[in-house]
């Protein structure tokens, strides 16, 4: 049997023909990198050339063989353009890769740039006070209702500032390319965990207040005058004033500050690294208070609030804790000067001892529960950005350093103004 006869004797129904065609395709694959043209006519011309060569050499080739060859060449012709498109996408992706480090740095830049605008908002919100002062100049205090004066000079600015900053913080999510509802999570939490969190928070609050007082005393010991910020807070005299005081000191900060620092800031950063989210949100939370007494206290409280938000993925616990802390502060503010000094001091001491004891007990229970959870679920989530890359990306954020400088300057300015005014 000669070579021509091997072609003529092929049975069209024989499956080995298809196998042979597949082997031809495997032996001559189209290399994606070698494709240089998507012109379908070029492939058609090649098909016609190869077909004519087969016709000249093997005039007896049957119809089945010709169909197989046509399918092989057609398959090659269709694969080539697809390969070119795939290579183009890969090249484009390699040219501008959206790495987690770049997204993380972009997120930090948006967060801290918006935070740098908060002092501007604080100037805007005092406009009602300035306007009131101008119009009330020369008017007897008896001609002005105490509630109206309290509202214009204190309540409205204290109400507007957290509200405006919360609105501004939405742009942090916009810059990061995230939706607020995907970042700020509000969900129910187990009642036991909420109660434990309250106990721990009260204990940490008492410990943090003593730490802040210690730092303040050290600074004063160095000869630096530290203003007593309680002197700048009004004393509510009527039920209406107390209600307004409660709203602007306890309710509004609890909602708005938790929305900003835990919901937006911590929520955005925790997508890359949860530990960084807790620390950076606490740093921002403490510095925006811009007073020596509040910065250490707010940082410690911010660490715990950030941890609670990351762990339970809900803003409700933080709002409750924040409200309780500020509400207790309002109560002691109202009691001061209205009850005997000895009674006030005794009540304050009892409160401190009780909260420390409650804090220790609840913290112990919480730690035991966490150990059990770790044993049941030892797997840890891998952070998108960690280690040296996390440190480098954080420390290289110029917006973060700008924010730190601005608020340190504001804190120092407050000290200097109180010392020389």
10-residue mean pLDDT series, the chain (421 residues):
44 49 48 41 45 46 48 46 48 63 94 95 81 64 66 87 94 90 84 93 93 88 78 82 92 96 96 95 95 91 96 93 94 88 92 96 94 84 88 95 95 79 61
Query: pTM to 2 decimals?
Result: 0.74
Is 79 within a domain? yes
- In this predicted structure, what is the pLDDT of residue 53? 45
Same domain, 209 and 84: no
Does residue 216 sit in the same domain as residue 75? no
Q: Are residues 89 and 188 in the same domain?
A: no
Burial of 118 (C-beta count, 10 Å sphere; 0-12/13-18/19+): buried
- 377 located within any domain: yes
State which residues form the domain around 308.
Answer: 180-420
The angle formed by the CA atoms of residues 171, 172 and 173, to the nearest 5 degrees, is 90
Within a domain: residue 124? no
Q: Whole-angstrom Cα distance, residue 381 to residue 307? A: 15
Tell whether 113 is covered by a domain: no
Domain count, the chain: 2
Tell me which of 95, 122, 138 is where a domain ends.
Answer: 95
CB 240 within 8 A of CB 148: no
Residue 315 to residues 107, 161, 184, 339, Cα–Cα distance (Å): 20, 20, 7, 36
**Are 233 and 377 contained in the same domain?**
yes
Is residue 274 one of the residues assigned to a domain?
yes
- Residue after which a domain boundary falls, among 74, 95, 116: 95
Is there a single domain that holds both residue 83 and residue 200?
A: no
Q: Of the candidates 414, 420, 413, which has an alpha carbon nearest to the alpha carbon of residue 228?
A: 414
pLDDT for 108: 96
pLDDT at 230: 72
Do 90 and 231 share a domain, yes or no?
no
Residues 395, 400, 406, 409: is their CA dihedral positive or negative? Answer: negative
Q: Which of 54, 75, 95 is the last residue of a domain?
A: 95
């Amino acid at each position: 049997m000669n070579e021509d006869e091997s072609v003529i004797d092929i049975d069209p129904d024989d499956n080995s023909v298809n196998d042979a065609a597949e082997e031809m395709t495997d032996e001559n694959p189209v290399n994606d990198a070698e494709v240089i043209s998507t012109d379908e006519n070029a492939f058609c011309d090649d098909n016609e050339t190869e077909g004519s060569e087969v016709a000249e050499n093997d005039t007896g080739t049957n119809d089945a063989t010709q169909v197989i060859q046509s399918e092989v060449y057609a398959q090659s012709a269709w694969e080539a353009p697809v390969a070119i498109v795939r290579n183009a996408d890969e090249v484009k992706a390699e040219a501008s890769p959206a790495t987690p480090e770049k997204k993380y740095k972009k997120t930090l830049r948006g967060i801290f740039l918006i935070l740098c605008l908060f002092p501007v908002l604080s100037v805007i919100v005092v406009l009602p006070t300035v306007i009131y002062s101008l119009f009330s100049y020369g008017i007897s205090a008896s001609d002005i209702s105490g509630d109206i004066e309290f509202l214009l000079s204190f309540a409205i600015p204290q109400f507007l500032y957290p509200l405006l900053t919360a609105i501004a913080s939405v742009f942090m999510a916009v810059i990061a390319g995230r939706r607020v509802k995907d970042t700020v999570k509000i969900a129910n939490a187990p009642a036991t965990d909420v109660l434990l969190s309250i106990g721990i928070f009260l204990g940490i609050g008492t410990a943090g207040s003593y730490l802040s007082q210690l730092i303040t005393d050290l600074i004063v010991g160095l000869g630096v005058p530290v203003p007593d910020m309680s002197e700048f807070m009004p004393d509510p005299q009527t039920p209406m004033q107390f209600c307004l005081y409660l709203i602007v000191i306890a309710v509004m900060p609890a909602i708005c500050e938790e929305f900003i620092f835990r919901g937006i800031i911590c929520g955005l950063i925790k997508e890359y690294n949860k530990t960084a989210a807790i620390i950076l949100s606490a740093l921002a939370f403490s510095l925006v208070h811009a007073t020596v007494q509040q910065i250490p206290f707010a940082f410690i409280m911010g660490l715990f609030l950030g941890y609670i938000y990351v762990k339970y993925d809900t803003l409700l616990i933080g709002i409750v804790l924040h409200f309780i802390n500020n509400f207790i502060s309002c109560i002691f503010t109202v009691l001061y000067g209205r009850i005997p000094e000895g009674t006030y001091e005794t009540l304050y001491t009892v409160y401190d001892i009780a909260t420390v004891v409650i804090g220790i007990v609840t913290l112990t229970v919480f730690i035991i529960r966490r150990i059990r959870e770790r044993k049941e679920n030892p797997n840890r989530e891998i952070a998108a950005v960690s280690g040296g890359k996390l440190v480098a990306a954080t420390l290289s954020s110029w917006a973060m350093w700008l924010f730190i400088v601005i608020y340190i300057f504001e804190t120092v300015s407050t000290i200097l103004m109180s010392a020389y005014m």
